[in-house]
């Protein structure tokens, strides 16, 4: 077992050692059972009734199976315990990674690690310790027993068995590259399945043929090709291994050697019989060795993927932790660019190179309890500003401060507790409406929840449902419309009542009537809060204390609406285009 296997199994090391001890004792008793059976045959030849041998055989048989069963129980309990530990550890690790990095990894790859790879480790831990004990202890016991009868003959049997093991190992080593390719191909299939299922509505709406599952189909074709190449390359090795793992080769070898020694008078007939019986035990040592090798190789790729996740750097936090006493926000010469990544067969390597900057030396302040609107064309970096403030990504230049404290000196948990967030694309968990509104909050009264939904103009809709607040929203909130999901998220923000409010197109899914109601509600929610709102509809931000107009990752204009109309040509053009768009009419001829 490699160091990687030993390291990942360290939390259950004691249970696994106990399992191996019991399995080794079971193998020792098994050898003693063989010797007792030989003794019974010998006494029968001598016309003696083997009463003592029969009683000992019964006792050892019971002890053998007891130890064997207990060994497997111990390893399986350890496997369940390790599975729990690994999933908790990975979940905690993923939650501490930058959110942008988690999104880059992808849900398919993460689900494979958390589900498939951990399950593969479960199979390894449950079965490997008893197999390891059998593979390494049985040959020792058998060789010692053979040596007691005849040392040269024992050495010959040992040499033959070691030769077969070497041939098997050489054959198995050829399969290692294919196992890595298999793991990568399976991850691609998982990712394609998740994307295909989640995008089913789009697939059925826009697709007219096979292209709807093109990526999924290509992933399956690639997976099949990897498996076909593996089978084609390994077929002769597999046939050879199956031939070597039968009693026939070693039996023929020992029978030929034994016959030669017998005719030379070096061994007796009984010794030849003993050797033929015990030496076939070497074949039983090959079977667990093969099983152990397959388990180790199958789990190796899973361990590498688990270790890769655990080795990812978490969000760095300053040693000098601070808590802001004020809630003004300052972006100081903030720049940001995504790191270029070089994806290889086994892992992703950061090259250190930067793509074109998404944001370039952004510098502005948001006074406490003020309303700042961020506008600009798609891709100008508006939502990225909010993501950087929340540390979903870290800035690549400059710094962001809250109350004069660099956000890197604030723990991620505390930073989140300062901010209420309403994104354009809102996520709901597959629980009840009440659970989603109160998510992350403790001791929320029913009346407080109702007040929040009333302020978000969603209470009447909830009460119209058969189960009211206990109605299930479905997986990812699929039973609700986009606007309904958004208003539930807004209700959550009302309930949280945190000093900083971040809004990313909060009225994107609302009709004109509800948009007016929501903006009135937001006016109440914004009271005594520091607000940053990303907006496309300029009518929603004309009363902002400050407007930040972004173009290609830079600030093109900054100020109040009236001041910008008077002083900024680029803002004037934007406002004119917006006014014209509001008067567009679609003519049907």
Q: How many CB atoms lie within 10 A of CB 259?
A: 12
Looking at the fold, whether 106 and 207 belong to one and the same domain comes out as yes
Question: Both 293 and 385 in a single domain?
Answer: no
pLDDT of residue 421: 86
Could you tell me which residues come within 8 angstroms of residue 583 by beta carbon, excluding any fewer than 6 positions away?
none
Establish if 58 belongs to a structural domain: yes
Beta bridge partners of 504: 534
Q: Which range, of 343-347, 427-431, 433-437, 543-547, averages the lowest pLDDT?
A: 343-347
pLDDT tens digits, 243-269: 555 556 666 776 777 777 778 777 777
Residues 505 and 416 in one domain: yes
State yes or no: pLDDT of 237 exceeds 80: no
Name residues whose C-beta falls within 8 Å of residue 152's C-beta, 6 or more positions apart in sequence.
266
Left, alpha or beta for 411 (phi > 0: left; psi -120 to 50: alpha)? Answer: beta
3-state secondary structure at position 84: helix
> Does the pLDDT of residue 493 top 70, yes or no?
yes
Phi, psi of 174 (to 5 degrees): -70, -20
What is the residue whose two structure tokens read 């807004």?
A: 490
Contact 301, 312 (CB under 8 A): no
Tokens of 32: 């003693």
Check pLDDT > 60 for residue 227.
yes
Beta bridge partners of 329: 366, 402
pLDDT value at residue 330: 94
What's the CATH number where 530 sits?
Answer: 3.40.50.300
State pTM to two decimals. Answer: 0.64
**Tokens at residue 559, please?**
């100020």
Q: Does the pLDDT at position 344 exceed 50? A: no
Co-location of 305 and 374 in the same domain: no
Residue 104, token pair as written in the block? 């880059």
DSSP 117: I
Cα(407)–Cα(329) distance, rounded to whole angstroms?
10
Q: Which are the contacts of 5, defined by CB distance < 8 A and separation ≥ 6? A: 124, 296, 299, 300, 303
Place 73 in a pLDDT band, splitting at 50, 70 and 90: very high
386 and 264 part of one domain = no
**Least confidently predicted of 35-39, 367-371, 383-387, 557-561:** 35-39
pLDDT of residue 207: 56
Q: Are residues 302 and 379 in the same domain?
A: no
State which residues form the domain around 482: 370-390+409-578
What percent of the chain lies above the pLDDT cut of 90?
14
Other Cβ atoms closer than 10 A to 166: 10
Flag whether 348 is in a domain: no
Find residue 362's DSSP bridge partners: 334
350: confidence class by pLDDT, cuts 50, 70, 90: very low
Which CATH number goes with the domain that contains 172?
Answer: 1.20.1560.10
Sign of CA dihedral 283, 284, 290, 292: negative
pLDDT at 176: 58
Minimum mean pLDDT range among 58-62, 200-204, 249-253: 200-204
Q: Do 70 and 169 share a domain, yes or no?
A: yes
Q: Mind listing the pLDDT tens digit for each residue in 105-129?
A: 777 678 778 888 888 888 888 888 8
pLDDT digits (tens, 9 = 90+) for 293-317: 667 777 777 888 888 888 888 877 7
Tokens 């079971």 -> residue:
26
Domain count within the chain: 2
Write the pLDDT tens digit of every residue in 367-406. 999 999 999 888 888 888 998 999 888 888 999 999 999 9
Locus of tokens 């089913």: 200
Separation CA 113–CA 125 (nearest Å): 16
450 and 530 fall within a common domain: yes
Pairwise CA distance, residues 94 & 86, whole Å: 12
Q: What are phi and psi of 422, to 5 degrees?
A: -125, 105
The pLDDT of residue 221: 76
pLDDT-derived band at 223 (thresholds 50, 70, 90) equals: confident
Mean pLDDT of the chain: 78
Q: pLDDT digit string (tens) for 419-468?
A: 988 877 777 888 888 888 888 777 888 888 888 888 888 888 889 888 88
With respect to residue 327, please indicate whether it lies within any of the assigned structural domains: no
262 and 380 co-located in one domain: no
What are the φ/ψ torsions at residue 353 (nearest 5 degrees)?
A: -80, 155
Indicate the SS3 state at residue 503: strand
Q: What is the pLDDT of residue 245?
A: 56
Collapse the DSSP code of 267 into the 3-class scheme (helix H, G, I; strand E, B; otherwise coil) and give the result.
coil
Decide which of 402 and 131 is more confident: 402
Asked if the model's pLDDT at residue 209 lies above 50, the reply is no
205 has pLDDT over 80: no
Split at pLDDT 50, 70, 90, the class of 347 is very low
The answer to whether residue 584 is domain-embedded is: no
Radius of gyration of the chain (CA): 35
Q: Are strands 419-422 and 339-343 parallel, antiparallel or unpaired?
A: unpaired
Q: Please indicate, yes or no, whether residues 91 and 201 belong to a single structural domain of this protein.
A: yes
Residue 268, domain member (yes or no): yes
15 and 82 fall within a common domain? yes
In a domain, 551, yes or no: yes
Widest CA span of the chain, in angstroms? 120
Q: Which residues pair with 402 in a beta bridge?
A: 329, 405
Q: What is the pLDDT of residue 370?
A: 92
Q: Which residues pair with 551 in a beta bridge?
A: 554
The answer to whether 421 and 525 have CB atoms below 8 angstroms apart is: no
Is 418 within the bounds of a domain? yes
Q: What is the pLDDT of residues 170-201, one digit of tens each?
A: 665 655 566 666 666 766 676 666 666 666 65
Beta strands in 277-430 (DSSP E): 329-336, 339-343, 348-354, 359-366, 371-376, 397-402, 405-406, 419-422
CA atoms within 13 A on the CB side of 405: 20
271 and 383 part of one domain: no
Asked if the structure places residue 342 within a domain, the reply is no
């Amino acid at each position: 077992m490699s160091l990687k296997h030993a390291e990942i199994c360290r939390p259950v090391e004691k249970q696994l050692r106990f399992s191996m001890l019991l399995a080794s004792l079971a193998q020792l008793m098994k050898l003693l059972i063989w010797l007792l059976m030989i003794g019974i045959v010998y006494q029968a030849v001598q016309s003696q009734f083997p009463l003592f041998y029969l009683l000992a055989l019964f006792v050892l048989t019971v002890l053998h199976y007891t130890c064997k069963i207990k060994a497997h129980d111990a390893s399986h309990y350890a496997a369940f315990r390790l599975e729990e530990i690994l999933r908790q550890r990975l979940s905690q690790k993923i939650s501490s990674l930058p959110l942008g990095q988690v999104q880059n990894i992808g849900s398919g790859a993460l689900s494979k690690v958390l589900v498939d790879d951990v399950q593969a480790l479960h199979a390894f831990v449950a079965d490997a310790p008893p197999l390891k004990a059998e593979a390494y202890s049985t040959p020792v016991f058998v060789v010692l027993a053979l040596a007691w009868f005849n040392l040269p003959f024992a050495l010959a049997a040992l040499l033959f068995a070691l030769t077969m093991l070497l041939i098997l190992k050489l054959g198995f080593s050829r399969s290692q590259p294919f196992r890595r390719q298999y793991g990568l191909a399976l991850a691609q299939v998982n990712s394609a399945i998740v994307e295909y299922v989640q995008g089913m509505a789009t697939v059925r709406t826009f697709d007219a043929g096979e292209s709807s599952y093109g990526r999924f189909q290509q992933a399956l074709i690639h997976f099949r090709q990897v498996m076909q190449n593996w089978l084609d390359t390994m077929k002769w090795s597999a046939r050879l291994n199956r031939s070597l793992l039968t009693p026939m080769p070693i039996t023929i070898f020992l029978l030929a050697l034994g016959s030669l020694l017998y005719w030379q008078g070096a061994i007796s007939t009984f010794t030849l019989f003993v050797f033929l019986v015990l030496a076939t035990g070497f074949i039983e040592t090959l079977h667990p060795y093969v099983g152990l090798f397959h388990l180790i190789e199958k789990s190796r790729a899973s361990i590498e993927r688990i270790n890769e996740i655990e080795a990812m750097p978490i969000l760095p936090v300053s040693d000098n932790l601070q808590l802001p006493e004020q809630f003004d926000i300052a972006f100081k010469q903030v720049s940001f660019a995504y790191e270029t990544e070089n994806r290889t067969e086994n892992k992703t390597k950061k090259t250190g190179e930067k793509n074109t900057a998404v944001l370039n030396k952004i510098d502005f302040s948001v006074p406490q309890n003020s309303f700042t609107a961020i506008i600009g064309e798609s891709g100008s970096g508006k939502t990225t500003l909010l993501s950087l403030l929340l540390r979903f990504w870290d800035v690549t230049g400059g710094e962001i401060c809250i109350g004069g404290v660099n956000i890197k000196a604030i723990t991620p948990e505390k930073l989140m507790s300062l901010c209420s967030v309403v994104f354009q694309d809102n996520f709901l968990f597959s629980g009840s409406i009440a659970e989603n509104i109160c998510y992350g909050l403790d001791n929320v009264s029913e009346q407080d929840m109702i007040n929040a939904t009333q302020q978000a103009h969603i209470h009447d809709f909830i009460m119209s449902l058969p189960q009211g607040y206990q109605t299930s929203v479905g997986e990812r909130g699929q039973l609700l419309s986009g606007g309904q999901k958004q208003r539930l998220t807004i209700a959550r923000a009302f309930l949280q009542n945190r000093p900083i409010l971040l809004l990313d197109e909060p009225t994107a899914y609302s009709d004109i009537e509800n948009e007016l109601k929501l903006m009135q509600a937001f006016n109440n929610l914004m009271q005594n809060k520091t607000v940053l709102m990303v907006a496309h509809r300029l009518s929603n931000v004309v009363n902002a204390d400050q407007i930040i107009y972004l173009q290609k990752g830079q600030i093109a204009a900054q100020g109040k609406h009236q001041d910008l109309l008077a002083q900024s040509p680029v803002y004037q053009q934007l406002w004119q285009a917006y006014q014209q768009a509001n008067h567009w009419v679609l003519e049907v001829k």
